[in-house]
């Protein structure tokens, strides 16, 4: 099956610092990657859609300047939480759509737990 990795799996940072989370598709090319945020015992909230070589599309209410997304290659997308604050603490999950027609399934990464102190 298709594998998506995320790094780091856990990160603790101080308020005001920036944190970068990587999402990689290990054995397939992903033209589209998604970034989700999940609060404890809550559903996944789509933050943005990342397409290789173009600007990310952010969902309403998600600050573009705070959550920087870069999709530099067909196997890597990064999410940078800039000037992090305690309210940014959450579980961040990425997913990837396999390139090619007829692909409907998104493959999820294992998630990154961010704690901002």
Partner 1 sequence: AQKITQTQPGMFVQEKEAVTLDCTYDTSDQSYGLFWYKQPSSGEMIFLIYQGSYDEQNATEGRYSLNFQKARKSANLVISASQLGDSAMYFCAMREGPNFNKFYFGSGTKLNVKP
Interaction of residue 58 with partner 1, rule CB under 8 A = no
Single residue of 19, 24, 37, 111 touching partner 1 by CB under 8 A:
111
Binding mask 16-55 for partner 1 (x = CB under 8 A): ----------------x-x-x-----xxxxx--x------
Instruction: Provide the total of helices (H) and of strands (E) in the chain, helices listed first.
Output: 0, 11
The SS3 of residue 73 is: strand
Distances (CA, A) of 10 to 2, 64, 100: 22, 23, 32
The SS3 of residue 86 is: helix
Interface with partner 1 (CB under 8 A): 32, 34, 36, 42-46, 49, 91, 93, 95, 97, 104-108, 110-111, 113
């Amino acid at each position: 099956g298709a594998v998506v990795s995320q790094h780091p799996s856990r990160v603790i940072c101080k308020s005001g610092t920036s944190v970068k989370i990587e999402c990689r598709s290990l054995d397939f090319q992903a033209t589209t990657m998604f970034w989700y945020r999940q609060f404890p015992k809550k559903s996944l909230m789509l933050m943005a859609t990342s397409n290789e070589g173009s600007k990310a599309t952010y969902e309403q209410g998600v600050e573009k300047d705070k959550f920087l997304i870069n999709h530099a290659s067909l196997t890597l997308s990064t999410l940078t939480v800039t000037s992090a604050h305690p309210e940014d603490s959450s579980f961040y999950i990425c997913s990837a759509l396999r390139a090619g027609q007829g692909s409907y399934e998104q493959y999820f990464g294992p998630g990154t737990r961010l704690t901002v102190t």
